[in-house]
Amino acid sequence: MPVGIELGGMSRRRRRGAITAFSPSQLFASNEQGLWLDPSDTSTLFQDSAGTTPVTAVEQAVGLMLDKSKGLLSSTNTGFTPASGAGHSFNTPDSVANSITGDIDIRWYGYTILSAAGGGTFCGKWGSAGQQAYAFDFAGTAGALRFYYTSDGSTSTGRVATSSVTPISAGLTNNVPCGLRATYKTSTGEVLFYYDKLDGLGWVQLGATQTITSGAIFDTTGLLYVNDRMAASVSAQLNTSRLQIYNGINGTLAVDFDPTRYTGGTTFIAATGEVWTLTGAGTRITPSGNHVSASADARRPILRARYNGIRYTEKFANSESLTAVTCVNDVADTLAPNGTQTASRATETTANSVHNIFMGSTFVPSTAGLRQTISVYAKAGTCPFIQLTTAGSASNPYANFDLINGTVTATGGTTVIATSITDAGDGWWRCVMIAEPVIGGSHSINMLLTGTGARSESYTGTSRTVFLWGRDLRVTNDGVGLPEYQRVGAVDTDYDTVGFPPYLAFDGVDDCLFTASTVNFTATDEMTVVSGARKLSDAAQGALLESSPASTNVGRFNIFAPASTGASGNFQFSSRGTIAGSSATSATTLAPVSAILTGRADISSPLTELRINGAVSATNTTTSQGTGNYGNYAFFVGARNNSTTRFNGRIYGIIVRGATTATPTLEQTETWMNGKTEAY
């Protein structure tokens, strides 16, 4: 069932075929304490710390990120749902869609006291006699599910199916999010009940198939209720996070009660079109979990999927580019490589001897020696040559491209790593230079008089033209297998996201998310941490995650990126029991760099192990961590205690499991995390 928006990162995983049935939820199947934070699942992200405003797009602040380790997998988001008890429900008018008379498939998600006598009603279209159609509840034998219907609006005798076992006896737990389902086949009278523990394994049949009197379902004109079957009839001790009714078993989704669409007032409109109206009181549900939040605006990280460092990637005439040539956008002369009228035409001016189109970027740092990939689609007009170069030093690298013959005609400067020119069709060529500038600076596309022209060749303009489109500048190691071009518009909030893994951008200045309550790890002295991250700077220590407010606290663990700074920039996983802890520290790994960082620790062994990208980087089995278990502290992401040691970089995901994890499962987890990060 699709929930929220899963941004980016999918196309490559499909190509690899590396995705298996593994889900991180399996790491928490035995109620292991921990966290699973997944920025790619926007259904878990909210702009405010109270969870009232969902994150709907990139470049929005994240004030609350829900922990998925406690069963948020399908749909248990914060949302507005009827309060528990009789008289609190949502209803929607009779419609063709909800007047299902044939096979029906009802799926409920939420949490409740499954063992409660009297239970509650998930949904019902069940008015007074003569207006009774169907209902799904567990209001009968304590905890057993029921589905019932009439064919004439009144007669339910022989048409009540009760599950042979209860969800509790099947292993579900009171007040833990789950899914429950009933299907009814009109031709045979067969009713099947199912449960879903939201562990990634999907629906499991609950008990035996029940057979009741077969027949079509009555077409009533009454309302359809959620958390009730008719107005104020049955006590509904439910927290419903989703209810879906399908016309046909596994048929067409006809009704979709999704309270995350509620934004205020007493009504909301479902994705399937029906209007839901609240009767009685509502309540905002926040599922259990170690959610992390930030109440202060500026301290919230930003959901982002930006990789291309420059703006106006298809508008070469703009207010930012300090160009010496004349550019016109969206010309009719030629279509862009993607078939749209979005190409720009650059024309040399005769007024000066400089013929560049400036490509400034504050997103890609102007760091000397930083390996960058600079690319642009170009098509010859009357000018057959262009040059890509880096500004700031006459010694900086450049590469010349022949747009008629599709060749790289010259390179120079310090240091060109690689170049390429690739046929993009219809006379277009994708020109690429990978380089490490001797001095950081901005970049330029230069028009050239000859294919062997010098860097920033000076000559009197001849009014020649070249067509340009789709320029891209990114740090070369920023993701593996990502699309080679990312469109960026006039502002930093306007860019394409498909294929680009989303992340939380922590600014290293004041951003931090942390749990409002403590996370109790006192039942274990073993720990597993898997995170996908990109370290952007080694200038200062950065706490990627930490399990307590201070490194000196008994029973804490953390990952630092970096621990050592400057030219010694690295990664470190650290753990301690009752005495000063042990660390596993990587070799120098300078920023910017993406990595899957895994920590495994065992206080008593002692063991502290750091894995990077699926391979052991450092192991410490000699330094004692003392005794005891891990502690019961607030958990911090992106800083120490929301006050110091702020992480400057990106987080693609964090999984913390208060238990040891066998290597095969750990490798699956790392592969899963890399699918979100594309680090290697």
Partner 1 sequence: MADIFRTLSVPAADAPLARQIADTLGGAGAQGMWETPLGPTADGPVTWYVSSGLIPTDFAYMVPCTYWAMDEDGNWVETGYEPGNPVAVYEGCVAAGLSVTQQEIDGLFARADVNDQDPWVAFARMGVTIVQMPEPEPEPAPEPQDFPFAEE
Whole-number Å distance between alpha carbons of 542 and 640: 8
Whole-number Å distance between alpha carbons of 220 and 153: 7
Whole-number Å distance between alpha carbons of 54 and 45: 6
Of positions 320, 333, 423, 494, contacts partner 1 by CB under 8 A: 320
Binding track, positions 526-545, relative to partner 1; x by CB under 8 A: ----------xx-xxx----
Residue that has been written with the tokens 């248990």 in this structure? 76
Of positions 441, 499, 501, 599, contacts partner 1 by CB under 8 A: 441
Long-range contacts of the stretch 134-141 (C-beta < 8 A, 24+): 134/100, 134/104, 134/106, 134/184, 134/217, 135/229, 136/106, 136/108, 136/182, 137/229, 137/234, 138/114, 138/167, 138/180, 139/234, 141/166
Span from 20-28, 36-44, 407-415, 553-561 in contact with partner 1 (CB under 8 A): 553-561
Query: What is the strand order of the sheet 356-359 is part of?
Result: 356-359, 443-447, 385-390, 398-402, 407-412
Span from 11-19, 74-82, 232-240, 506-514 in contact with partner 1 (CB under 8 A): 506-514
Q: Is 566 exposed, middle or buried (0-12, 13-18, 19+ CB in 10 A)?
A: exposed
302 touches partner 1 (CB under 8 A): yes
Of positions 213, 338, 450, 641, contacts partner 1 by CB under 8 A: 641
Span from 33-41, 195-203, 289-297, 424-432 in contact with partner 1 (CB under 8 A): 289-297
Q: Which of 428, 433, 410 is nearest to 314 (CA)?
A: 428
Binding track, positions 643-662, relative to partner 1; x by CB under 8 A: xxxx-x--------------
User: Based on CB atoms, which residue is closest to partner 1, 176 or 540?
Assistant: 540
Residue that has been written with the tokens 């405003």 in this structure? 53
Span from 102-110, 340-348, 426-434, 437-445 in contact with partner 1 (CB under 8 A): 437-445
Q: Which of 291, 263, 260 is nearest to 69 (CA)?
A: 291
Q: Which of 124, 109, 170, 168 is nearest to 142 (CA)?
A: 168
Contact 28, 72 (CB under 8 A): no
User: Based on CB atoms, which residue is closest to partner 1, 13 or 576?
Assistant: 576
Give the interface size with partner 1 as a residue count (CB under 8 A).
Answer: 65
Contacts of 105 by beta carbon, 8 Å cutoff, 6+ apart: 181, 182, 183, 245, 246, 248, 249, 250, 251
Distance in Å, CB of 297 to partner 1, minimum: 4
Of positions 404, 550, 587, 615, contacts partner 1 by CB under 8 A: 550
User: Based on CB atoms, which residue is closest to partner 1, 541 or 575?
Assistant: 541
Return the DSSP state at 495: B
User: Based on CB atoms, which residue is closest to partner 1, 391 or 612?
Assistant: 391
17: left (phi over 0), alpha (psi -120 to 50) or beta: left
User: Based on CB atoms, which residue is closest to partner 1, 499 or 577?
Assistant: 577
Binding track, positions 242-271, relative to partner 1; x by CB under 8 A: ------------------------------
Of positions 169, 334, 349, 493, contacts partner 1 by CB under 8 A: 493
DSSP string, 172-207: --TTS-EEEEEEEETTTTEEEEEEE-SSSS--EE-S
Contact 540, 631 (CB under 8 A): no
Span from 172-180, 207-215, 338-346, 363-371 in contact with partner 1 (CB under 8 A): 363-371
Burial 1-29 (b: 16+ CB within 10 A, else e): eebbbebbbeebbeeeeeeeeebbbebbe
632 touches partner 1 (CB under 8 A): yes
Binding track, positions 52-81, relative to partner 1; x by CB under 8 A: -------xxx--------------------
For residue 56, report the phi and psi dihedrals to the nearest 5 degrees.
Answer: -115, -10
Of positions 29, 129, 296, 490, contacts partner 1 by CB under 8 A: 296
- For 296, the token pair is 């202060």
365 touches partner 1 (CB under 8 A): yes
Span from 4-12, 269-277, 330-338, 516-524 in contact with partner 1 (CB under 8 A): 516-524
Span from 124-132, 172-180, 246-254, 355-363 in contact with partner 1 (CB under 8 A): 355-363
Distance in Å, CB of 367 to partner 1, minimum: 10
Q: Is 80 exposed, middle or buried (0-12, 13-18, 19+ CB in 10 A)?
A: buried
Distance in Å, CB of 523 to partner 1, minimum: 6
Residue 263: how many CB atoms within 10 A of its CB?
11
Q: Which of residues 367-406 bind partner 1 (CB under 8 A)?
A: 391-392
Q: Which amino acid is at 39?
A: P
572 touches partner 1 (CB under 8 A): no
Residue that has been written with the tokens 């063992």 in this structure? 115
User: Based on CB atoms, which residue is closest to partner 1, 59 or 94?
Assistant: 59
Distance in Å, CB of 292 to partner 1, minimum: 16
Note the Cα 472 to chain centre separation in Å.
24
Of positions 510, 564, 624, 665, contacts partner 1 by CB under 8 A: 510
DSSP string, 217-244: PP---S-EEES-SSTT-S---EEEEEEE
User: Based on CB atoms, which residue is closest to partner 1, 118 or 369?
Assistant: 369
Distance in Å, CB of 142 to partner 1, minimum: 34
Of positions 19, 322, 351, 498, contacts partner 1 by CB under 8 A: 322
User: Based on CB atoms, which residue is closest to partner 1, 451 or 508?
Assistant: 508
442 touches partner 1 (CB under 8 A): yes
Distance in Å, CB of 631 to partner 1, minimum: 5
26 touches partner 1 (CB under 8 A): no
Q: Which amino acid is at 557?
A: F
Q: Which of 331, 413, 421 is nearest to 375 (CA)?
A: 421
User: Based on CB atoms, which residue is closest to partner 1, 62 or 270?
Assistant: 62
Distance in Å, CB of 432 to partner 1, minimum: 22
Chain residues binding partner 1 by CB under 8 A are 59-61, 295-300, 302, 320, 322, 356, 358, 360, 362-363, 365-366, 391-392, 439-442, 444, 492-493, 507-511, 522-525, 536-537, 539-541, 548-555, 578, 604, 627-629, 631-633, 640-641, 643-646, 648
